[in-house]
Amino acid sequence: MGAEAGSQSAVDIFVIGGGINGCGIARDAAGRGLSVRLAEQGDLAQATSSASTKLFHGGLRYLEYFEFRLVREALQERETLLLAMPHISWPMRFVLPLHPGMRFETKTPTSRLLTAVMPWMRGRRPAWVIRLGLFLYDHLGGRRILPGTRTLDLRSDPAGRALRGEFTRAYEYSDCWVQDSRLVVLNARDAARRGAEILTRTRVTAARREGGLWTVDMSGPEGETRCHARALVNAAGPWAGEVIRDTLGRQGGASVRLVRGSHIVTRKLFDHDRSYIFQGRDGRIIFAIPYEQDFTLIGTTDQDHEGDPSEAVCTPAEQDYLCAFASEYFARPVTRADIVWSYSGVRPLYDDGARSATAATRDYVLRLDDRGAPLLNVFGGKITTYRRLAEHALEKLAPFFPAAGATWTAGVALPGGDFPHDGVAALQARLVADYPFLTKSWAARLIRAYGTETWLVLGEARAAADLGEDFGGTLTGAEVRWLLREEYARSAEDILWRRTRLGLRLDAAGVAALEASIAAQREET
């Protein structure tokens, strides 16, 4: 064992896992005046938190499972989060085409209820049930910013153009988009600003209770290190069960159900800024979402996952499933040849014993073990509910930290998000006035990534050449330096697939140049 990092002074809270839940908890705790250390075995958001559908949503379909608590909390959160990060998240309208073949997943509480009172429906999901669901969706969580549901005539509305002629009517409702991996890194940065120590590429290898504290062993860039903490939070997502079993050496207790979800990305399939939500014959739904200006994101699947969560990929069968599902709706069939990229993530769901992967609860469960120094295990959760999950986690730990501050994160902007929720266009116009060499789409990308911090990224540049090397896709040396210095990026992959999504645009030469530039900067330091 090498240096005993921090052994003299134990931190209040040690967090295992740099996904959205770990980083959200670290930020909340640091803002309450607690000392916090977080260890992530790879890059921030390298697992599930960069592989989501990227929606701040109430989860319309969870209403069919009567998950009212989750839906209500998530609906309320949409606007709270939008106000705190108007750069990386924005309102989005969803078009839900109607047709008589729509079906429930057979065993949802709603389908069982309807089958009992209206057996002739035979599992069909009638339009009036959807409208009722959308009425609840509009009113359960209180809306001030997002517009409510309306009905569309797809024969005249531009949203109908990309769809097959049989779809003539649709409902349109609101949810929000969020850049998931940027959400994680901004939470980590804000936690660090408030005093938290964020360690990436640092795996927790063992932890045990000793003398009223947790002793935590880590393996990272500094070699093998050890530290002490008053409380331990297991926010290891899909690895939460493994951490309990192997890292903490505990048997039994709650378990995690690993449910894989995959997405495909195609070139742009339609020319407007609304998304589609499609209902399948199997009772499932998928989304088709405008993505990164020139692409369409389609997903997701629901498959129980065996094996290492980090090895999840979108299988050929899942690709075919998504293509066939989308082709039931789009006028032009979607085929494997349209796919430019795919990704897959594993939902770390609380195992509630549900039969199907689709039915397993998406709500989160926090389990406190206070037989000695406290251990808080986090199961499940949504990107959308991360802030509330963090508040609940701190509530559970409050008895051990009587001097900790009160809840504070609602209404406090994340880095770069300190401007009005409808102020993106004005901010972008100001950016282009200050840096006239930026193209419109370049400026839009920067504002959507860095918000008011874009000026710090670009600095004194007066021409594109002042930003240093051009890697392609508008990625420059200045932005790369910012990401390495301020956002915990260490590799080309961190930059291309998590801090940005420019991996969709850079060619092999650009990636090689980026790798060489990062290696050179590493040697300098």
Binding site for ligand FAD (CB under 6 A): 16-22, 39-42, 46-49, 51-55, 57, 203-204, 235-239, 243, 247, 261, 300, 345-348, 381-384
If the CB atoms of residues 49 and 361 are measured against ligand FAD, the closer one turns out to be 49
Are 389 and 364 contacting, i.e. CB atoms less than 8 angstroms apart?
yes
Nearer to ligand FAD, 182 or 478 (CB): 182
In the complex with ligand FAD, which residue's Cβ is closer, 382 or 499? 382
Q: With b meaning 16 or more CB within 10 Å and e meaning fewer, what string describes 120-139?
A: eeebbbebebbeebbebbbe
Q: What share of residues in the chain are helix, strand, coil (percent, to 5)?
A: 40, 25, 40
Cβ nearer to ligand FAD, comparing 46 with 428: 46
Q: CA–CA separation, 494 vs 462, rounded Å?
A: 28
DSSP letter for 413, please.
P
Closest C-alpha to 203, from 250, 257, 242, 155: 242
Least Å from the CB of residue 227 to ligand FAD: 13
Question: Shortest gap between Cβ of 209 and ligand FAD (angstroms)?
Answer: 17
Q: Is the dihedral of CA 103, 109, 114, 120 positive or negative?
A: positive
Nearest approach, Cβ of residue 287 and ligand FAD (Å): 8
Q: How far is the CB of 48 from ligand FAD (least distance, A)?
A: 3
In whole angstroms, what is the distance from residue 339 CA to residue 342 CA?
Answer: 7
Contact between 373 and 362 under an 8 Å Cβ cutoff? The reply is no
Residue 243 vs 467, nearer CB to ligand FAD = 243
What is the closest distance, in whole angstroms, from the C-beta atom of residue 44 to ligand FAD in the complex? 7
Of 231, 507, 230, which Cα lies nearest the Cα of 366? 231
User: Least CB distance from residue 299 to ligand FAD, whole Å?
Assistant: 6
Question: Is 358 or 428 the residue whose CB approaches ligand FAD more closely?
Answer: 358
CB of 17 to ligand FAD, least distance (A): 3
Residue nearest to ligand FAD (CB): 19
**DSSP assigned state of 15:** E
Would you say 39 or 277 has its CB closer to ligand FAD? Answer: 39
- Taking the least distance from each CB to ligand FAD, the nearer of 108 and 344 is 344
Q: Are 13 and 233 in contact (CB under 8 A)?
A: yes
For the CB of residue 205, give the shortest distance to ligand FAD in the complex, in Å. Answer: 7
Both tokens assigned to 431: 């950016």
Residues 6+ apart with CB under 8 A from 339: 264, 265, 266, 319, 323
